[in-house]
Amino acid sequence: MMESANTDPELRDWLRWASELGNTPAFVRLVADAACLACSPDFEMLRPVLVELKRLQPQPQPGPAATGDPELFGWLRWVSGGGHVPSFVRTLVEAALCACRSDYALLRPVLLELKQRHLDHPGVSPNAWSID
């Protein structure tokens, strides 16, 4: 079975990140965009290049600082998963999720304040960001 950008289990999430969400070089973003537009045979031809680009430009994973913070991690995950917040908040949350421990420590007081501000946001349940 021939894969496409939407069906390739190894590349699907990385392609979405590289073409839409990632802070990637223009070359990587444009190749990822082309892969998302490609028919299956063209995608298969391009796949080795994509695998190498993924190796060279890995998608950031949540840093251990964020995942080890039970007070904020559920909320951070809720925001990054599409929770209704301003772009400013979403951008800081994305930074926090890929931050090393020392950088996360710098942002943590700001994130706590933003969480409190958005706790009373209309239409948001206080349990929306609980960790299941």
pTM, two decimal places: 0.49
Mean residue pLDDT of the chain comes to 82
CA distances to 83, 112, 113, 126 from 122, rounded to whole Å, are 12, 18, 17, 11
pLDDT tens digits, one per residue of 65-95: 788 888 998 898 888 888 888 888 888 888 8
State the CB neighbour count (10 A cutoff) for residue 100.
Answer: 10
The model's confidence at residue 100, banded by pLDDT at 50, 70 and 90, is confident
Averaged over 57-64, what is the pLDDT? Answer: 70
pLDDT at 126: 47
pLDDT at 101: 78
Among 59, 73, 51, smallest CA distance to 130 is for: 73
pLDDT at 132: 42
